[in-house]
Amino acid sequence: MEELLRLLAEDAPGSELARAAGEDAVARDLALRIRAGMDASKKREAELSALVDVARELASARDPGGVLQTIVHRARTLVGTDVAYLTLYDETRGDTYMRATDGSVSAAFQQLRLPLGAGLGGLVAETYKPYWTADYPSDRRFKHTLPIDDAVGEEGLVAICGTPLVVDGAFVGVLFASNRTRRPFSHDEVSLLGSLATLAAVTLVQVRAAAETAAALDQLSAAHAGVEHAAAAHDRFAEIVLSGGDVDAIAAALAELLNVWVVLVDANGNELANAGRVPGASVPWQESVSGRLTRTEDCWVVAATAKGERLGALVIGGADDLSGADQRIVERAAVVTALVLLFRRQAAEQSQRAQADLLADVLSGSADPRTLTDRLRLLAPQHRHDPLVVAVCRGDHSGVRARLSAPLEERLVLSGPYGGDLVLLFARTKAVSAARDLSELAKRTGVTVAVTGPAAWGQPLVEAHRQAARLVTRMIRLGRTNEAATPDDLGVAGLVGASEVDVHTHVQHVLGQVLDYDTQRGTDLIGTLHAYFAAGQSPTRAATSLHIHPNTVQQRLDRITALLGNGWQSPSRALDIQVALRLHSALG
């Protein structure tokens, strides 16, 4: 068995594992299964790494033609087929046409058009679902047509896999990987091609939008009567889009170009950016504004709209009038603003998906720690060595992430759903501080939050999450809903089920205010508490055991109330305090 474990650790091939197992069939089967799992994990990691490289390569492409050629080349390389090709949807003709190929030799195939529903690609385009076959010419599931079969035959294709390119429900095209010999496609290969198609679709739409914006700015420059003014607007907005600038840069550029003040609001009227001398009063804004500049009171308002969705509005003021040319500059600025807002939202969605995937791998405890560290370095390089506080939010947590306060938002490392809960990982804070900051959020959103940690990356973090999950379950059972708490906040109940307990920290959490008071003033309120509970919470009997007047005991109890807060004598709080007193005595 030790020999098998050594060979597994050294990444030995299956033949060596089988030889080492000898006649032990159970050990041999188990070792080969572990070997297969390790190989599958490595293959998946390699595919994910390749997808990251593809995303970077696509992000650097500036023209649609370059993007499409990159897509098909990468598809052919990653899936390992003879040919890869991509068709785009033609809204005018209602079909798809061949746009890019890699490995193709047939001119007829490269000029092929596929009606919706015809052939494998036409079926993908019609249903928005992937289809694949090991032998297309003889597969009767698909509607064969003479032009398609002739082109496929001339190219010599046999096995074909096609997956749709869809962005926000809009069909863009179909990505294919094909072989000239019969071969099946595994589900992993279909999934990999689908992931590449998703990256390709988003990038293609973004590049098209950028090209359209650049074209619109070119038209703006040509039509503007003041050539220098239009050129300045064109250059500034184009530079912002191509350099990845944010909405603050757009507002600042527009304010400078037209000598006005600018306020950008989102779809709900919340301010996103401003520039120039904005008046103190709230700016006029109506939800019904359109994509054309309109006059409202002393201001001008235009909606920032993308794909029929209103993402925000630009409010312009500080000018008695705007010329027709200047009005068009504002309208084009709104187009650029909508584009940047759309990019920012898509980037945020992609980042959240990447965070959720990494979080799931971290909390499962099954992924390779070195790989997790590399992925974390890409998402949050400044926190990869920090111990983390874990917050598990249970309930309707849909609005929690957006309502985090500024201090918590700055310390947030990873967030995402896991096991039906929302899990938040914070760096450079303590569990007590995080719970305090999350308390108001829990009340506003109606979630119950359990906070544990800090814990180091790896198994300690996995254990901290499990403890938080158990804690939030106990909170709900005890009726402690719509609040945020650490294990120590639950007193005795918080100690139940904990993998380990820091007794000193627990005592300090429950009795710290009283202990500090005694230390600073030389009093013995802790002794009074001991006597009070020993006397069955009778101040008179406690006074007798302490040999002092009952009024003195009552004065000390009033001081304890001021330190611990009202309700410390209730049954549940009294039990927690008595346990903490016992633990304090045990600590000496």
Query: If you write DSSP's letter for every residue of 199-227 in order, what string do you get?
Result: HHHHHHHHHHHHHHHHHHHHHHHHH-SSH
Q: Is position 577 within any domain?
A: yes
User: How many Å apart are CA 118 and CA 138, to the nearest integer?
Assistant: 15
Angle between the N-to-C axes of helices 525-534 and 571-587, in degrees from 0 to 180, rounded to the nearest 10 = 120
Residue bearing the bigger pLDDT, 165 or 339: 165
Number of domains in the chain: 5
Find the mean pLDDT for residues 520-538: 84
Q: What is the DSSP letter of 487?
A: G
Do residues 242 and 210 touch, judged by C-beta distance below 8 A? yes
pLDDT at 49 exceeding the cut of 50: no
Lookup result for tokens 């179909």: 174
Q: Say whether both 200 and 236 belong to one domain.
A: no
Cβ-based neighbours of 74, under 8 Å, separated by 6 or more = 50, 54, 57, 196
CATH number of the domain enclosing 559: 1.10.10.2840
Average pLDDT, the chain: 77
Residue bearing the bigger pLDDT, 257 or 224: 257
Cβ-based neighbours of 87, under 8 Å, separated by 6 or more = 96, 97, 98, 99, 114, 121, 125, 173, 174, 176
Q: Given this model, what pLDDT does residue 178 score?
A: 95
Q: What is the DSSP letter of 283?
A: P
Q: Say whether both 106 and 170 belong to one domain.
A: yes
Q: Given this model, what pLDDT does residue 429 score?
A: 86
Cβ-based neighbours of 442, under 8 Å, separated by 6 or more = 393, 448, 449, 482, 483, 484
Give the containing element (helix H, strand E) for 422: strand 421-427
Single-letter amino acid, residue 480: R
Do residues 391 and 449 touch, judged by C-beta distance below 8 A? yes
Q: Kindly list the distances between the CA atom of residue 410 and the CA atoms of 172, 319, 429, in Å, as whole numbers in the listed order.
A: 37, 38, 11
Q: Convert the pLDDT of each residue in 71-99 to its tens digit.
A: 888 888 888 899 999 999 998 898 999 98
Task: Tell me the two tokens of residue 539.
Answer: 């101040």
Task: Tell me the two tokens of residue 280.
Answer: 């103190």
Q: Is position 148 within any domain?
A: yes
| Boundary-marking domain end, from 11, 42, 58 | 58
pLDDT at 43 exceeding the cut of 60: no
* Residue 300 pLDDT class (50, 70, 90 cuts): confident
Q: Given this model, what pLDDT does residue 388 score?
A: 87
Burial 409-423, CB ≥16 within 10 A → b, else e: eebbbbbbebeebbb
Q: Say whether both 120 and 176 belong to one domain.
A: yes
Q: Identify which of 92, 97, 93 has the alpha carbon closest to the alpha carbon of residue 110.
A: 97
Q: Sign of torsion, CA 456 459 462 467?
A: negative
User: How many Å apart are CA 370 and CA 376, to the nearest integer?
Assistant: 10
Q: Is position 374 within any domain?
A: no
Domain carrying residue 244: 224-346
In this structure, what are the phi and psi dihedrals at residue 520, rounded to the nearest 5 degrees? -75, -30
Q: How far is CA 99 from the centre of its chain?
A: 33
Cβ-based neighbours of 498, under 8 Å, separated by 6 or more = 467, 487
Q: Say whether both 254 and 285 belong to one domain.
A: yes
| Boundary-marking domain end, from 159, 185, 209 | 209
Instruction: Tell me the pTM.
Output: 0.38
Q: Convert the pLDDT of each residue in 536-582 to its tens digit.
A: 888 888 888 888 888 887 888 888 888 888 888 887 777 778 777 87
Q: Say whether both 79 and 197 belong to one domain.
A: yes
Q: Given this model, what pLDDT does residue 378 score?
A: 55
pLDDT at 156 exceeding the cut of 80: yes
- Classified as helix, coil or strand, 311 is strand
Strands lying side by side in the sheet with 412-418? 412-418, 421-427, 388-394, 448-455, 484-485
- Classified as helix, coil or strand, 167 is strand
Residue bearing the bigger pLDDT, 104 or 6: 104
Q: Convert the pLDDT of each residue in 465-485 to its tens digit.
A: 888 888 888 888 878 889 998
Q: Say whether both 547 and 573 belong to one domain.
A: yes
DSSP secondary structure of 536-552: TS-HHHHHHHHTS-HHH
Q: Say whether both 94 and 140 belong to one domain.
A: yes
Q: What is the DSSP letter of 461?
A: H
Q: Given this model, what pLDDT does residue 14 score?
A: 54
Q: What is the Cβ-side half-sphere exposure of residue 315, based on CA atoms within 13 angstroms?
A: 25
Task: Tell me the two tokens of residue 582.
Answer: 């016992």
Q: Say whether both 255 and 268 belong to one domain.
A: yes
In this structure, what are the phi and psi dihedrals at residue 62, rounded to the nearest 5 degrees? -110, -20
Q: Best-predicted range by mean pLDDT among 286-295, 362-371, 533-542, 568-577?
A: 533-542
Q: Is position 39 within any domain?
A: yes
Q: Say whether both 40 and 73 belong to one domain.
A: no
| Boundary-marking domain end, from 466, 495, 524 | 495
Find the mean pLDDT for residues 161-189: 89
Q: Say whether both 180 and 241 belong to one domain.
A: no
Q: Say whether both 510 and 580 belong to one domain.
A: yes
Q: Is position 216 within any domain?
A: no
Cβ-based neighbours of 302, under 8 Å, separated by 6 or more = 289, 290, 291, 292, 293, 294, 313, 314, 316, 330, 331, 334
Q: Is position 73 within any domain?
A: yes
CATH number of the domain enclosing 340: 3.30.450.40
In this structure, what are the phi and psi dihedrals at residue 307, rounded to the nearest 5 degrees? 55, 40
Q: Say whether both 99 and 185 belong to one domain.
A: yes
Q: Is position 353 within any domain?
A: no
Q: Is position 131 within any domain?
A: yes
Rg for the chain, CA atoms, rounded:
33
Give the containing element (helix H, strand E) for 567: none
